């Protein structure tokens, strides 16, 4: 009987510790999501201040994503990393993201910047959140939306059905490089 009570007490302790660890982990996830959501709001406010027509574009697009990034370029090697959220205006779905960029080319500097992606179609959304998107190197001042003959002023074409605004927050970087960018879902933030 004493062994049974000791065993039950030990199991109760394990259950309590597991529940506490899970609650702490969930609290950490909620805190990080809130930080990313705040960064997203700030990125959009900055964009709307500098490109007022972007507010209409974001409100009327199929989906959009904001990524807050830090990039470093030293000599021929460069690296950038960031985090953000993609929001589907049609379904309300939110997907938290990570970004990693590697570059080779001449340059020097550090900068903090936001990337705001606009997705015009469900296909572009699905490709973007799956991490399968291939970014083009096109940089046009005004890109056609391809549907209604409108344009996405101040944005560059990133891929089929996807435009991107880049807003530098602070820093200066001079570079000419070939970059490989990977944007992917954050497993930890999207599982709860």
Smallest CA-to-CA distance from 166 within 157, 174, 175, 177 is with 157
Summarize pLDDT for 29-79 with one digit per residue, the tens.
999 999 999 999 999 999 999 999 999 999 999 999 999 988 777 767 777
Summarize pLDDT for 81-132 with one digit per residue, the tens.
899 999 999 999 999 999 887 776 666 777 788 989 999 999 999 999 988 7
Domain map of the chain by residue range? 44-190
Angle made by CA atoms 161, 68, 131, in degrees to the nearest 5:
45
> What pTM value is reported for the model?
0.72
Q: Look at the block and give the residue holding tokens 């039950």.
A: 8
Residue 52's CB is within 10 A of a number of other CB atoms, namely 11
- Classify the C-alpha dihedral 108-109-112-113 as positive or negative: negative
């Amino acid at each position: 009987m004493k062994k049974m009570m000791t065993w039950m007490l030990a199991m109760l302790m394990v259950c309590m510790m597991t529940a506490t660890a899970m609650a702490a982990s969930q609290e950490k996830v909620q805190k990080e999501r809130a930080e990313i959501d705040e960064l997203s709001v700030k990125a959009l406010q900055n964009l709307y201040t500098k490109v007022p027509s972007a507010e209409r574009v974001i409100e009327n697009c199929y989906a959009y994503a904001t990524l807050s990034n830090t990039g470093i370029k030293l000599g021929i090697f460069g690296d950038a990393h960031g985090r953000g959220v993609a929001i589907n205006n049609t379904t309300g779905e939110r997907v938290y993201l990570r970004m990693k960029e590697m570059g080779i080319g001449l340059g020097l500097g550090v900068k903090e910047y936001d990337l705001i992606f606009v997705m015009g179609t469900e296909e572009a959304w699905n490709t973007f959140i799956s991490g399968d998107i291939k970014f083009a190197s096109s940089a046009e001042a005004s890109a056609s939306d391809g549907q209604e003959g409108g344009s996405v002023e101040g944005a560059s074409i990133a891929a089929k059905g996807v435009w991107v605004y880049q807003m530098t927050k602070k820093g200066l970087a001079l570079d000419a490089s070939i970059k490989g960018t990977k944007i992917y879902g954050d497993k930890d933030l999207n599982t709860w």
